[in-house]
């Protein structure tokens, strides 16, 4: 494939991904990789999709990490790696990756939304007091313990 064809396949694969057609998107990204693409975007999305869609988590992690290493300035690579960690049950690792990404792109709204998704905070129990007030802290801990034992 030439550059234009690769960009066309990438655009189609990205659209499939956004529509939730993960297997179809993985197949298209796979075509790019098989064709010899070394574009970190292609590698990153392919890694995310084979891990989430096909259960090849270790291979997906390796590819997403490779993409981050290749372009440390691109927050999209970090975002895909964080999504992979989150979707495979590693929310604390996802948060670490997102915090690294914020150093690269501190005002990126997609990163900020993803951090809120990975690490949601409940509202203070007593909204008229500061979140750090001892009553809010202890009531919040009690609420968390209650939900852990109920769930």
Length of the chain: 151
Cβ atoms within 10 Å, residue 103: 10
pLDDT at 100 (0 to 100): 93
Decide if 59 contacts 94 (C-beta within 8 A).
no
The pLDDT value recorded for residue 120 is 66
**What six digits make up the tokens of 44?**
């990153």
Domains of the chain: 3-120 (1.25.40.10), 122-151 (no CATH)
Quick one: pLDDT at residue 63?
Answer: 97
pLDDT of residue 148: 46
Residue 75: what pLDDT? Answer: 93
Who's near 42: CB < 8 A, 6+ residues apart? Answer: 6, 10, 29, 32, 33
What are the 10-residue block averages of pLDDT along the chain, 151 residues in total? 93 95 94 96 96 92 97 94 92 91 91 81 84 88 63 33
What is the pLDDT, as a whole number, of residue 21?
93
CA distance 108 to 138: 33
DSSP letter at 125 equals S
pLDDT reported for residue 147: 57
Q: Which phi and psi (to 5°) does residue 121 adopt?
A: -115, 135
């Amino acid at each position: 494939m030439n550059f234009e064809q690769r960009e066309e396949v990438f655009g189609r694969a990205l659209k499939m991904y956004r529509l939730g057609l993960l297997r179809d998107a993985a197949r298209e990204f796979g075509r790019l990789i098989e064709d010899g693409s070394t574009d970190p975007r292609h590698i990153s999305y392919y890694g995310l999709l084979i891990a989430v869609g096909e259960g090849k988590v270790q291979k997906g992690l390796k590819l997403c990490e490779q993409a981050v290493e290749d372009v440390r300035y691109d927050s999209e690579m970090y975002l895909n790696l964080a999504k992979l960690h989150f979707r495979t049950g590693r929310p604390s690792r996802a948060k670490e990756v997102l915090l690294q990404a914020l150093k690269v792109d501190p005002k990126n709204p997609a990163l900020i939304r993803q951090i809120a998704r990975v690490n949601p905070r409940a509202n203070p129990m007593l909204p008229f007091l500061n979140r750090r007030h001892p009553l809010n802290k202890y009531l919040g801990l009690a609420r968390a313990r209650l939900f852990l034992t109920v769930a």
